Amino acid sequence: MTLRDALDRTLLLMRDEVHDTVTDDELIAALTGLRVALVADAANIASHSAQTAFVTAAMLMARSGHHVHLICPPAALVGQQPPLGRGDLVEELARAGADLLPGYSFATGAPVGEVDIAITLGNSEISVRAARLIRLNARPWSGHLGDQTASNMWDGGLWPLGGMAAAGLAAAEAFKTSMRTLAHAARNPARMETVFAPATNVVFALAPEGTPFVRQLGTFDCISGGAIINAILYALARVPGVEGRARVIEPDTTDTSNLNRYMLLQRSRLKDDKAHDLATILTGCGLAIEPVPKRYEPAQLPSLLPLAASVLVGVDDIPTRWLVQRAGPDWLGVGATTHWSALASFHADGLGCAQCLHPTDDPGNAPIPTVAFVSFWAGLLTASYFLRHRASQTIPASEQQIYLTALRPEHPSWSAVPRRRGCPSCAALRAPVLDKSAQRSPHTRAGGAVFLAARFPVCPAGTD
């Protein structure tokens, strides 16, 4: 197992932007050569929000191989931060960091000389010389990326969602700094100059401030145990006092090439099955995970249905999203990525369904280019929709989906999902033979046959 194996999918994504003559070693050098100082002082690291931002930024940058100095005084973790244990923030981060990419570790001392980028929380004092200084801040539901002129104390408090958004903003800035060292080999120099330019003074709102906090998540199902479900569960596990029960329906085992983006995965646990691994790492976190090591596909439906009323989907395979939609969950959240962009949507009665949103399949078995901060954004955005749903907030239909190119967080695109005429999944959901008892009792012989025949008249292909 090598660093190159672990960064395989990240390198694939970088190759979108650079000529084929660039070697893997050059790409890896661009990632590992980036020197970052992540800085917080005692006053600014005290809250759960700030600690979540610090941990998340550190882990996202570590999964992209950046050389990160953790500069923070001793601070007891005030909330749970899986895959970290309880204890001191920097000690636990250092332990977790040594169990990520092969050969990787955080630096816990001050850097010698100038770093490429210093990322500081709130108005923490900084004694490091840096080519660029970023100051992060947060409100409960929004993350803030500022420059050296930002001067406010960390403002996130207890609720950690905004802190995670701040971390996502910071990790993208670090990654762009790495990419700009490859500008000489850019396929499109103008794109490199614009898309990969620094972002400054960004406020990214996951939800309106004032959105209620919620900790009772009830019962829900997760379809897949991959990168996006990892990010969703990573975010939900940080909700103070969270309680919930979830099935994770996923047949595969973890692989070295997952380390670049699976937020809860550690190298020492590779080759476990993904569903059991999530159950293990989240033990004691308030989220009771029931691993279901099966593929969500037509042949398995009799043993998997009924789904919970709320379902979170993180599969790349588009027909699988249709298959979940046709099972008729009351509320469905879908997270996805494509190259540098993260997508999230939710689907409920009266709104466009998952097939209205993605009506055509995009088959292919080639390895998918992905990077830590994009997968994380997809999960964070989906988790935010879910928390708003659980808080009984009415989300405007005009915000039913979000498309975020994570490199340019100034311009998220929120929009409706129009219902499509002739959508097969919408038609299946209206099938007249269906009644609620059949939907909720598909295991009974009669109910199951009626339900399956009504909802899945033509079963799509299996999942990826």
Looking at the Cβ atoms of 113 and 350, the one nearer to Zn ion is 350
The residue among 47 and 439 lying less far from Zn ion, judged by its C-beta, is 439
The backbone region for 285, taken as left when phi is positive above 0, alpha when psi lies in -120 to 50, beta otherwise, is: alpha
At closest approach, how far in Å is the CB of 418 from Zn ion? 10
Name the token pair of 198. 């620094």
The CB-side HSE value for 300 (13 A sphere, CA atoms) comes to 18
Residues 70-99 close enough to bind Zn ion by CB under 5 A = none
Interacting stretch for Zn ion, rule CB under 5 A, among 142-150, 173-181, 368-376, 420-428?
Answer: 420-428
Distance CA 246, CA 429 (A): 24
What's phi and psi for 135, nearest 5 deg?
Answer: -115, 125
Specify the pairing of strand 310-313 against strand 287-292. unpaired
Instruction: Tell me the pairing of strands 202-205 and 142-146.
Output: antiparallel
Residue 396 Cβ vs Zn ion, minimum distance, rounded to whole Å:
19
For residue 356, the minimal CB distance to Zn ion (Å) is 3
| Residue among 271 and 421 whose Cβ is closer to Zn ion | 421
Q: Which of 425, 428, 439, 454 binds Zn ion (CB under 5 A)?
A: 425
Nearest distance in Å: CB 347, Zn ion: 8
To Zn ion, the closest distance from the beta carbon of 458 in angstroms equals: 15
Q: Which is nearer to Zn ion, 97 or 352 (CB)?
A: 352
Shortest reach from residue 232's CB to Zn ion, in Å:
23
Contact indicator for 163, 156 with CB cutoff of 8 Å: yes
Burial of 184 (0-12, 13-18, 19+ CB in 10 A): exposed
By rule CB under 5 A, what count of residues binds Zn ion?
6
Residues of span 300-359 touching Zn ion by CB under 5 A:
353, 355-356
CB of 400 to Zn ion, least distance (A): 12
- Can you read off the two tokens belonging to residue 36? 């970052």
What's phi and psi for 22, nearest 5 deg?
-70, 130
Could you tell me the smallest distance in angstroms from the CB atom of residue 424 to Zn ion?
A: 8
Please answer whether residues 331 and 379 qualify as being in contact, where contact means their C-beta atoms are separated by less than 8 angstroms.
no
Q: Of the two residues 48 and 347, which places its CB atom closer to Zn ion in the complex?
A: 347
Q: What residues between 191 and 230 interact with Zn ion by CB under 5 A?
A: none
* Intra-chain end-to-end CA distance of the chain, in Å: 24
Of residues 18 and 428, the one with the C-beta less far from Zn ion: 428
Q: Which is nearer to Zn ion, 40 or 356 (CB)?
A: 356
Interface characters, 131-150, with Zn ion (x: CB under 5 A): --------------------
The nearer residue to Zn ion, 45 or 354, going by C-beta atoms, is 354
Contact region with Zn ion (CB under 5 A), list: 114-122, 302-310, 424-432, 455-463: 424-432
Q: Which is nearer to Zn ion, 30 or 323 (CB)?
A: 323
Any contact of residue 423 with Zn ion (CB under 5 A)?
yes
Q: What is the DSSP letter of 60?
A: H
**Which amino acid, 386?**
F
Q: Which of 46, 153, 309, 426 is the binder for Zn ion (CB under 5 A)?
A: 426
Which residues are registered as beta bridge partners of 155? none
The distance of closest approach from Cβ of residue 75 to Zn ion in the complex, given in angstroms and rounded to an integer, is 48
- The interface region with Zn ion, picked from 40-48, 216-224, 226-234, 423-431 by CB under 5 A, is 423-431
The Cβ-side half-sphere exposure at 65, using a 13 Å CA radius, reads 25
- In single-letter form, the type of residue at position 91 comes to E
Rounded Cα–Cα distance for residues 226 and 399 (Å): 25
Binding mask 257-286 for Zn ion (x = CB under 5 A): ------------------------------
By the rule CB under 5 A, 400 interacts with Zn ion: no
Q: How far is the CB of 428 from Zn ion (least distance, A)?
A: 9
The strand pair at 243-249 and 35-39 is best described as unpaired
Q: How far is the CB of 426 from Zn ion (least distance, A)?
A: 3
Separation between Cα atoms, residue 52 and residue 161, nearest integer Å: 9
CA nearest 449: which of 433, 430, 426? Answer: 433
Interatomic CA distance for residues 354 and 346, integer angstroms? 8
Nearer to Zn ion, 115 or 357 (CB): 357
Q: Using CB under 5 A, which of the segments 74-82, 259-267, 375-383, 422-430 binds Zn ion?
A: 422-430
> From CA 291, how far away is CA 428, in angstroms rounded?
29
Residues facing residue 186 across a β-bridge: 18
Stretch that binds Zn ion, among 75-83, 136-144, 195-203, 415-423 (CB under 5 A): 415-423
CB of 361 to Zn ion, least distance (A): 15
**Residue 364, CA distances (Å) to 37, 222, 361, 463 in order:** 40, 23, 9, 11
Please state, in angstroms and rounded to a whole number, the distance separating the CA atoms of residues 361 and 31: 33
Q: Where does this chain bind Zn ion (CB under 5 A)?
A: 353, 355-356, 423, 425-426
